[in-house]
Amino acid sequence: MNTKKSSANNSGKVWLVGAGPGDPELLTLKAVRVLGSADVVLVDDLVDPRILAHARPGARIVEVGKRGGCRSTPQAFIEKLMVRLARRGASVVRLKGGDPFVFGRGGEEAETLAKAGIACEVVNGITSGIAVPAAIGIPVTHRDTARGVTFITGHARDDSSPDWAALHAAGTTLVIYMGMKRADSLASRMIAAGFPADTPACAIQNGTLETQATVVCTLATLAARIAEARLGSPGLLVVGEVVRHARAAADLTRQLAA
């Protein structure tokens, strides 16, 4: 497909679009509209394929999958591709799971586009850190037990760790992205920093989808329960008193103190 368009300055535009937590029905109306007008869609691996039904007929779909532990398209390549396509006059959608600005590298891509003089607009998506816990009845904030929520990556670029002692003192709900494979190490560090071993915790795989699977347990038993249930990515970890609100929403759910 020829993505070149005629325009005064021969410059296109890039839309950084959040596809939401998984369930295609949680896509925003603006995301649907933008997808329906794009010439090219650069789609991440975690985006449900059914969402691409909203792309306009004839649009070029390019898979640029990025998933931990798997072969991924280099981020530098994706950024160069966005710039090249936009300079040819194309309208480009960079379609990501969740929200582009919540552990989605959207900030990095927006900076690259700005430096290249490419117009860019963000279309927010519902982040998994809120929607996935809600799918099993967990409110990430609650007036009685959690007056805040902290989003954390379990896979920092420089392999550093957050200040677990400070997070324990803050008393917020912790939602950990990309932490399934590191649950044992994460839980051990948290307990060593002062978190009680019986702190409610859960792991949720494929949240909001038909294949959703969950274990609800304690911080001390989290890694063992994940291994027992054979949960993997994509998934989230949730730690805090709000986990007590979880309901048995999946075949693999295990109740607290079971």
Nearest to 180 by CA among 214, 203, 153, 151: 203
- Split at pLDDT 50, 70, 90, the class of 231 is very high
- Give yes or no for residue 257 having a pLDDT over 50: no
HEC readout, 84-152: HHHHCCCEEEEEECECCCCCCCHHHHHHHHHHCCCEEEEECCCCHHHHHHHHCCCCCCECCCECCEEEE
Residue 72's pLDDT band, with cuts at 50, 70 and 90, is confident
Among candidate residues 34, 179, 158, the one with its CA nearest the CA of residue 96? 34
Tokens of 199: 């702190």
Provide the pLDDT for residue 249: 39
Average pLDDT over residues 184-199: 96
Active site residues: 44, 66, 178
Read off the pLDDT of each residue in 74-91 and give the average, rounded to a whole number. 95
> Token pair of 110, please?
């927006």
Cα–Cα distance list, 224 to 25, 62, 138, 227 (Å): 33, 38, 21, 5
For residue 230, give the DSSP letter.
T
Per the confidence metrics, is the pTM higher than 0.85?
yes
248-252, long-range: CB within 8 Å, 24+ apart, which pairs? 249/135, 249/136, 249/137, 249/212, 249/214, 250/136, 250/212, 250/213, 250/214, 251/213, 252/213, 252/214, 252/215
Please determine, for residue 128, whether its predicted confidence score (pLDDT) is greater than 90.
yes
Q: Which two tokens stand for residue 179?
A: 């932490």
C-alpha dist (Å) from residue 46 to 29, 62, 104, 251: 20, 14, 11, 22
Q: What are the Cα distances from residue 38, in Å, to 47, 133, 209?
A: 17, 32, 26
DSSP character at residue 10: -
pLDDT of residue 158: 66
Domains and their CATH numbers in the chain? 13-123 (3.40.1010.10), 128-245 (3.30.950.10)
**Angstrom distances, CA of residue 161 to CA of 119, 154, 158, 165, 182:** 35, 8, 9, 11, 12
| pLDDT tens-place string over residues 214-228 | 999 999 999 999 999
Strand partners, 98: 20
Proportion of the chain above pLDDT 90, given as a percent? 82
Is the Cα torsion angle 166, 167, 168, 172 positive or negative in sign?
Answer: positive
List the one residue out of 32, 36, 40, 76 whose CA is nearest residue 61.
40
Tokens of 118: 């490419």
Q: Is residue 141 over pLDDT 70? A: yes
For the chain, percent of residues with pLDDT exceeding 70: 88
pLDDT of 250 over the 90 cut: no
pLDDT higher at 161 or 84: 84
Per-residue pLDDT at 258 exceeds 70:
no
pLDDT of residue 248: 46
